Structure 1
Amino acid sequence: MRAVTLHPAAVPLDRVLFVTGGWMLALMWLLPLAYAIWTAFHPPAYETRFDLFAPLTLANFERAWNAAPFGRYFLNTILLVTMVLSAQLVLATMAAFAFARLNFPGREVLFSLVLLQLMVMPDILLVRNYATMAQLGLVNTILAIGLPYFASGFAIFLLRQTFRTIPRELDDAARVEGCGTLGLIWRVYVPLARPTMLAFALVSVSHHWNNFVWPLIITSSVETRPLTVGLSIFATTDSGVEWSVINAATLITSAPLLVGFLLFQRQFVQSFMRAGIK
């Protein structure tokens, strides 16, 4: 019998391109982060040069923390993202259930308006939102930062698509057990939509934690400003640009999101996959 020689299969070109592109994108993200970490943990003399034996220091973090009231900024930011996310999930759940399960006149037209809202850039509404907050007497408040974002078309769309996949037999079974509409939503739909809610929560918290323009416009005091606006104080100092202190302040601001993602990245990825977000 003639021996057959097996040759290793050649790696497909598209796979090589995808892997190479992935590494390039990863390096584009990692290099600025690596520079920020390097300068934040080393004296200012090492901002532009690398030395394997450079001394480590926490002085930059101390100077950054003392230069701005980060404690207050953290509290404001946590209150903001919690308030906005809670309102978004409650309102979006109710609206998504109505669009997915209730029949009423104009349902498709209203849902089209929700989808249309996704195409409108938030910056276009800055002037109108500011005028509305001024009329309500809410300028320079944490509520004013979050109120324009309470209704999320993105959340409504995601939850509606998830609710439409839930078998109607579960509705009938819950009704037989005595559930009303609110009980049906809370006991059936919300548990089954948790992966989608977690995926949206990641998007929402990241956006409002990092949002800068609208909080800068609508607030004017330390008592109401979030972290991103407070961080801008380091760009307006008279002592020149100190990248070591600026990067230390940046790490203080972004550390909660980075740590949270590293701790729960598996849950986040699984939630995105189950929710069908790409």
Structure 2
Amino acid sequence: MSRFDRTLWITGAALLALLWVAPFLYAVWTAIHPSAYEAHFTLTAPLTWQNFVKAWNAAPFARYFLNTFVLVTGITAAQFVLCTLAAYGFARFAFPGRDILFALVLLQLLVMPDILIVENYQTIRAFHLVDTLAAIALPYVASGFGIFLIRQTFMTVPRELDDAARIEGAGPLKILWRVYVPLAKPTYLAYGLVSVSYHWNNFLWPLIVTNSVTTRPVTVGLSVFATTDSGVEWSVINAATLMTSAPLLVAFLLFQRQFVQSFMRAGIK
């Protein structure tokens, strides 16, 4: 690559990074300064944490964070179990209709989740689960992407390891747990990070199926800051937004190397 091409790529990457960083920096600025400085940028502007205090006291964020943690943890755990079993079956067992069923799994990847909102809501209402954490989680406990990703990893495991485990007397589930799962750890980490990020930020479906504070996740809780009697308070809104996104930002900064390496080892392009 020539010096000109390299400079061009670096310039393009810097511009794209600026497009993402600029709104974030504005959110940080407004969150740590009084509302009078929302559009008044000066180095002498006084710093304040009152926006965070006001945002925290304006809504039961402790409950929202607890709901979100339970929700994200439960969905990810269920996906790991169900996707692992399905991926193992597709990768290592021959049965009638296997290819057709796997094609249906891949077809599911083409369907936007928002398209199924009406049908999912009718199902949840039929089971009397509206306004519960289960209502938020049930449409996501299985994932076509997770099945596909883990299956592709299992397909790379040499069959000789299966034979060696069977000689030692191991059954299918023990082989899965002792052989396949340890070898697929990078894939689980990659998929887990994607799943946690998606469900932490999911808004539309939780908004539709929840009505009370006891079941709302943190993203829906943010909607309480949309308007106030005195109008929109961007400083408080941005403070609340930073509070809700902080766990994901901190997690990515701490595990960014493992995040990139896990995707590379998992074969995700």
Q: Judge conservation of contact 2:190–2:262 (CA < 8 Å) in 1.
A: yes
Match of 2:227 among 201, 212, 236: 236
Distance apart, 1:238 and its partner CA: 2.1
Structure-to-structure mapping, 1:208-247, within 5 angstroms: 208-247=199-238
Match of 1:90 among 81, 84, 95: 81
1:16 & 1:206 partners in 2: Cα distance? 33
Q: Which runs of 4+ in 1 moved over 3 A?
A: none
Distance apart, 1:12 and its partner CA: 4.4
1:177 & 1:46 partners in 2: Cα distance? 70
1:152 & 1:29 partners in 2: Cα distance? 29
Give, as a single letter, the amino acid of the residue that structure 1 aligns with 2:76: L
2:7 & 2:94 partners in 1: Cα distance? 50
1:192 & 1:25 partners in 2: Cα distance? 36
Distance apart, 1:236 and its partner CA: 3.1
Confirm whether residue 142 of structure 1 aligns to residue 133 of structure 2. yes
Paired-residue identity, %: 70
Distance apart, 1:237 and its partner CA: 2.1
Q: What SS does structure 1 have at the residue aligned with 2:3? A: coil
Confirm whether residue 181 of structure 1 aligns to residue 172 of structure 2. yes
Q: Judge conservation of contact 2:38–2:235 (CA < 8 Å) in 1.
A: yes
Larger CA Rg, structure 1 vs 2 = 1
TM-score under structure 1 normalisation? 0.95
1:79-135 CA-partner distances (Å, limit 9, x unpaired): 010010001010000000000000000000000000000000101100000000011
Count matched residues.
Answer: 269
Match of 1:199 among 190, 203, 215: 190
2:84 & 2:123 partners in 1: Cα distance? 26
The aligned residue for residue 158 of structure 1 is 149
Match of 1:117 among 108, 111, 128: 108
The aligned residue for residue 271 of structure 1 is 262
2:184 & 2:230 partners in 1: Cα distance? 52
Match of 1:55 among 41, 46, 50: 46
Instruction: State the superposition RMSD in angstroms.
Output: 1.0
1:178 & 1:39 partners in 2: Cα distance? 63
2:2 & 2:141 partners in 1: Cα distance? 52
